[in-house]
């Protein structure tokens, strides 16, 4: 069992299980609680009425989801669904007060946590200045590669994260591949020349 700052929230609490694709919470609904991910990975995303979605984060075990709207006491700004099988602990207001009382330092950790969300969202806004290829380059550089140095991701997923179409992701990655900066494979991708990508990202627009 993973232990971290948030474990006091989860200790001794019942967990609920979610199957892949199952909804955890829905955008625009009231936020009565937030969640601690005991295991599995989750997709948090904003969706449009037309069905397009924009992935904000893909949090894993040990992370919290849904705290921002919870503290804001406003409808959720994003939806969350399970990507893999998940175990979750839900935290509601009475429970949170209990834990804050017993572990005052948690409030500070929560401040830092929310500040991190602000940073992530700011990066999304910031990247609106960039054209599609640089958005993708930035995204690749921000990902932490697996132990073998490769990333597990589909073009669709990248597109939904940086806000461009699947087609464009294919085109740009094909281009990066031809230049020798990355090597692409089925549902995977390896960065070969980090520096070249960084240099490319740094070039100011003509």
Number of residues near DNA (by CB under 7 A): 21
Which span (6-14, 23-31, 89-97, 152-160) binds DNA, by CB under 7 A?
A: 152-160
Nearer to its own copies, 110 or 136 (CB): 110
Name which position in 65, 68, 89, 158 contacts its own copies (CB under 8 A): 68
95 is an interface residue for its own copies by CB under 8 A: no
Q: How far is the CB of 119 from DNA (least distance, A)?
A: 23
The interface mask with DNA, positions 51-90, x = CB under 7 A, is -x--------------------------------------
**Cβ-based neighbours of 180, under 8 Å, separated by 6 or more:** 192, 193, 196
Q: Which long-range contacts (CB under 8 A, 24 or more apart) does 137-144 make?
A: 137/176, 137/197, 137/200, 137/201, 138/162, 138/201, 140/182, 140/189, 140/191, 140/197, 141/191, 141/194, 141/197, 141/198, 141/201
Q: How far is the CB of 73 from its own copies (least distance, A)?
A: 7
174 is an interface residue for DNA by CB under 7 A: yes
Name which position in 11, 32, 126, 198 contacts its own copies (CB under 8 A): 126
Cα distances from 37 to residues 94, 186, 190, in angstroms, run 19, 28, 28
Judge whether 166 and 159 are in contact, CB under 8 Å: yes
Judge whether 96 and 64 are in contact, CB under 8 Å: no
110 binds, among its own copies, DNA, none (CB under 5 to 8 A by kind): its own copies
Nearer to DNA, 101 or 129 (CB): 129
Residues in the chain: 206
């Amino acid at each position: 069992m993973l232990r971290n700052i948030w474990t006091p929230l989860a200790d001794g609490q019942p967990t609920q299980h979610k199957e892949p694709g199952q909804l955890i919470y829905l955008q625009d609904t009231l936020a009565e609680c937030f969640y601690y991910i005991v295991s599995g990975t989750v997709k948090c995303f904003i969706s449009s009425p037309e069905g397009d979605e924009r992935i904000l984060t893909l949090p894993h075990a040990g992370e919290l989801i849904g705290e921002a709207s919870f503290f804001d006491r406003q409808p959720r700004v994003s939806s969350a669904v399970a990507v893999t099988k998940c175990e979750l602990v839900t935290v509601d207001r009475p429970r949170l007060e209990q834990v804050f009382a017993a572990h005052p330092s948690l409030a500070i950790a929560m401040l830092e946590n929310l500040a991190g969300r602000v940073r992530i969202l700011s990066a999304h806004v910031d990247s609106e200045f960039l054209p599609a290829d640089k958005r993708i380059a930035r995204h690749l550089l921000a990902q932490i590669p697996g132990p073998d140095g490769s990333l597990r991701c589909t073009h669709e997923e990248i597109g939904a994260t940086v806000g461009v179409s699947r087609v464009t992701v294919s085109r740009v990655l094909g281009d990066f591949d031809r230049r020798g900066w990355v090597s692409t494979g089925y549902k995977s991708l390896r960065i070969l020349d980090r520096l070249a990508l960084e240099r490319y990202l740094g070039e100011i627009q003509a």
